[in-house]
Amino acid sequence: MECARLSDAELLRLVRAGGEPSTAALRELEQRHFQAVRVFASACVVTSSAADALAGQAWKQALRPEDGGAAGAVRPMALSVVLRTAASWAGTEQRSILNPDLTTWVQTHIPLPPAGSETGEVADLLPPSVAARAFEGIAEHSQTVLWHKTVEHDEIERIEEILGPDTEVVSLLERRARNELYNVYVQTHQAGLDDECRPFHRMVLAYAEEKSLDMAADLAPHLEGCAACSRAVADLGRMRVDCGGFLAEAVLPWGGEEYGAIRAEEDAPVGTALELLPSGVHLAHPPGRMRRRLFGRWGPARPMAANRRANRVVQSLALIGLASLAAAFAFSGNLRPGAPQSSESNPAQSAQPAPGKPGPARTTATATATSTVTATRSSEPPSKGGKRPPPASKQPVAGALLEWVFEDVNGGVAADTSGNGRDGRLTGSPTARVVGSAAQLGGEQAVVSDGPVVDTESSFSVSARVRLDDTEDRQVVVSQDSDEASGFMLQYDADEDRWEMRIPEEDEEDAEEAESDEAAADFGPEPGEWTHLTGVYDDDDGEIRLYVDGRLEDVADHEDGDFAAEGDFAAGRGLSFGEGFRGVVGSVDDVRAFGRALTTSQAAALAK
């Protein structure tokens, strides 16, 4: 049996069923997860040998078949058992080897087992928080995707391995899982509301999502006196801007904040933990010899792009004078180590800031509209050099209608290297210029074709590399004009801090207000960072697809509202009210257009 191709869920079923297949299944689970268990165990105790013993005991407990064993995604489930097992030691002679901060937290927040209990028993935690119950309430595969994407920052390939073959695109699974988590949280919170809270429920949700910040004055008195509703505002906000931190502290109410930062010492011994594993299975690679990041990471995580949104949330909370709530929003309040795991146990209590730090110490348009772009920025293209763009892909996908790679530019015209004669005019005042084989733009420049390139009433695809030097405003990377507005926009939405492929339902004057469908990533760029974008309209399937750096990020339905946008094709600006708008501040390179819907593999090839 080739266990490496099985999902975590399939492997766990084999282990719990016993028999010959269980040994290989256990070995595979161990290779995927035991190192993380051992590392978290090391934060709970004071010696390496104690960490080995704790990790081994917790691993056995997490996998045992009695009563079906613990349920949920393997990694967070096993880590939770580590904490519960360590907590049970606080009532035994093993207490002396526990992290003193953990011992203090246990004494305050967890009822200890009766005197004389064996260390093999697992402590019962206090009633879990709404956050913890929401995570437990979502599907197992949703738990797996969210935990490994947002907490562990694992690469897509690693997550696909854990989910097993034939799984759907991870980015789509993550988006669904986030929605599922939100819905379960809201349902759980609503089910536990007191009568006096129910009139405020919709207001709390709208406020937490920053949809109705003007209601702060009406909501503030209730939030100041209600721990449950103030916690919901904090939780839902943090779920949106820091889902990984939110989940880590929900599953690990002690040590969750620190978990992502813990690193094993390079030569940390495995010790006796392996002797405690079922069937005598051993790690294929001892932790001390692993020369990569821990917790199954195969590479660096994508930089977080939510800081600006997080700051907006905290600032809005400060506006209503809820200092303690703002602190809770920023730092997860009473979900931090040392604070009560659940506020439901004392609902009448006002929201309080978390006590002092008790967690583990860290161990280490039209033709006339194309000459200018309406903007309030400086009209001069930026002179900063920055990093050179990645090399333009050399026809990795055949059949392009247009290719602007900016390697042959004469007299202000960029040659169309597809051979179709759709050259690009460098426009603006001053005129756009080419620096290092990329068009450098300052918000009032663009590169424009003479007439349309794609048929917007049929399937088409567009792509480009872009580096935004300023991310404060919306910017259109690629578009094609209709009479009044763009027929589509491959763009950056600064308000949502995300990349989008946006197609309106009709040619309205105001592109900002037009009814549109859009496929959107859940992140945006860092200033000065090169990104490859591909937007696809698949007319046959009635959908829009967005790829970022070759990876499918979102799919959106677009079944109605096709219209012919027969104006110029443009890179570096959009069209609204018949004038250029949303000009790019930065550089654009490797612009391509196709008269068909590209596949996922073709989009990936373009990004190389």
With 0.85 as the threshold, say if the pTM is over it.
Answer: no
The pLDDT-based confidence of 118 (bands split at 50, 70, 90) is low
In sequence order, the β-bridge partners of residue 147 are: none
Partners of 402 in the β-ladder = 593
Q: Which of 449, 485, 56 is nearest to 274 (CA)?
A: 56
Between 200-204, 238-242, 364-368, 460-464, the lowest mean confidence (pLDDT) is in: 364-368
pLDDT surpassing 70 at residue 200: yes
Average pLDDT, the chain: 78
pLDDT at residue number 282: 32
Q: Please name the residues in contact with 98: beta carbons below 8 A apart, sequence gap of 6 or more.
A: 44, 45, 46, 86, 89, 90, 106
Chain centre distance of CA 134: 18
Contact criterion met (CB below 8 Å) for 58 and 85: yes
Amino acid (one-letter) located at 445: Q
Find out whether 379 and 563 touch, Cβ atoms under 8 Å.
no
Q: Which amino acid is at 553?
A: E
Q: Are 60 and 277 spatial neighbours (Cβ–Cβ below 8 Å)?
A: yes
Q: What is the mean pLDDT of residues 12-41?
A: 90
Residues 6+ apart with CB under 8 A from 405: 392, 417, 437, 589, 590, 591
For the ranges 152-156, 350-354, 493-497, the one whose mean pLDDT is highest:
493-497
How many whole angstroms separate alpha carbon 443 and alpha carbon 417? 26
CB neighbourhood size of 353 (10 A): 16
Structure tokens at 388: 């050179």
How many angstroms separate the CA atoms of 400 and 540, rounded? 19
Q: What is the pLDDT of residues 403-415, one digit of tens each?
A: 999 999 999 999 9
pLDDT at 75 over 80: yes
Q: Which pLDDT score is estimated for 260?
A: 57
Position 1 pLDDT exceeds 70: no
Residue pair 481/511 in contact by the 8 Å Cβ criterion? no
What DSSP letter does each residue of 453-511 carry, written as one string? -S-TTS-EEEEEEEEES--SS-EEEEEEE-SSSEEEEEEEETTTTEEEEEEESS--S-T
Q: What is the pLDDT of residue 427?
A: 95
Q: Which domains, from first to last, does the chain contain?
A: 1-125+261-294 (no CATH), 367-607 (2.60.120.200)
Q: CA 8, 10, 12, 18 torsion: positive or negative? A: negative
Q: What is the pLDDT of residue 206?
A: 83
In one-letter notation, the amino acid at residue 544 is: I
Least confident of 128-137, 257-266, 592-601: 257-266
Say whether pLDDT at 384 is over 80: no
Between the alpha carbon of residue 380 and those of residues 384, 584, 602, the distances in Å are 12, 12, 36
Residue 245 phi/psi, 5-degree rounding, is: -65, -40
Nearest to 548 by CA among 177, 144, 154, 171: 171
Report whether 578 contacts 365 (CB < 8 A). yes
pLDDT at position 374 is 40
Share of the chain above pLDDT 90, in %: 48
Highest mean pLDDT among 280-284, 341-345, 449-453: 449-453
pLDDT for res 440: 94
Q: Please name the helix (run of DSSP H) or strand (run of DSSP E) that holds residue 284, with its range, or none.
A: none
- State pLDDT tens for residues 532-549: 999 999 998 899 999 999
Q: How far is Cα 134 from Cα 435, in angstroms, rounded to an integer?
A: 51
Per-residue confidence (pLDDT) for residue 263, from 0 to 100: 35
What pLDDT does 213 receive? 57
pLDDT band at 344 (very low <50, low <70, confident <90, very high): very low
Query: For the residues of 199-256, what is the DSSP string, one character each?
Result: GGHHHHHHHHTTS-GGGHHHHHHHHHH-HHHHHHHHHHHHHHH-HHHHHHHHH-TTTH
Q: What is the DSSP letter of 88?
A: H
Say if CB 91 and CB 117 are below 8 A apart: yes
Report the C-alpha gap between 151 and 147 in whole angstroms. 5
Structure tokens at 479: 């578009």
Closest CA to 32 of 54, 61, 63, 67: 63
Q: Which residue has the higher pLDDT, 118 or 422?
A: 422
The fraction of the chain above a pLDDT of 70, given in percent, is: 72
| Separation CA 401–CA 417 (nearest Å) | 10
- Between 165-169, 202-206, 538-542, the lowest mean confidence (pLDDT) is in 165-169
The pLDDT of residue 592:
98
pLDDT given at position 500:
97
Nearest to 147 by CA among 169, 177, 168, 172: 177
pLDDT at residue 117, as a whole number: 53
Which pLDDT tens digit goes with each residue over 217-226? 778 888 888 9
- pLDDT exceeds 90 at position 491: yes
Residue 332 pLDDT? 33
CA distances to 86, 218, 372, 528, 552 from 214, rounded to whole Å, are 46, 9, 37, 34, 36
For 117, other C-beta atoms within 10 Å of its C-beta total: 13
29 backbone dihedrals φ, ψ, rounded to 5°: -60, -40
pLDDT at 122: 58
Q: How far is CA 445 from the centre of its chain?
A: 33
Whether the per-residue pLDDT at 307 is higher than 70: the answer is: no
Of residues 28 and 167, more confidently modeled:
28
Q: What is the DSSP letter of 45?
A: B
Q: Mean pLDDT over residues 186-199, rounded?
A: 90
Summarize the confidence of residues 490-517 as an average pLDDT: 90
**Do strands 460-468 and 402-404 pair parallel, antiparallel, or not at all (unpaired)?**
unpaired
Residue 107 host element (H or E): helix 100-109
Q: Which residue has the higher pLDDT, 463 or 69?
A: 463
> 602: which 2 tokens?
């073709």
User: Which one-letter DSSP state was computed for residue 446?
Assistant: E
Average pLDDT over residues 272-297: 32
Give the three-state DSSP class for 570.
strand
d(CA 373, CA 511): 14
pLDDT at 605 over 60: yes
Residue of 160 and 272 predicted with greater confidence:
160
pLDDT at 129: 92
Q: What is d(CA 356, CA 40) in angstroms, rounded to the nearest whole number?
A: 22
Judged against a pLDDT cut of 70, whether residue 280 lies above it is answered with no
Buried b (16+ CB within 10 A) or exposed e, 424-453: bbbbbeeebbbbebbbbbbbbbbbbbeebb
- Three-state secondary-structure class, residue 35: helix
Banded model confidence at residue 335, pLDDT cuts 50, 70, 90: very low
CA-to-CA separations, 47 to 50, 97, 122, 258, 424, in angstroms, rounded: 5, 7, 21, 18, 67
Per-residue model confidence as pLDDT tens digits over 356-366:
334 554 433 33
Q: Are 454 and 462 in contact (CB under 8 A)?
A: yes
Identify the burial level of 523 via C-beta atoms within 10 angstroms of its C-beta, where 0-12 means exposed, 13-18 middle and 19 or more buried: middle
d(CA 192, CA 178): 22
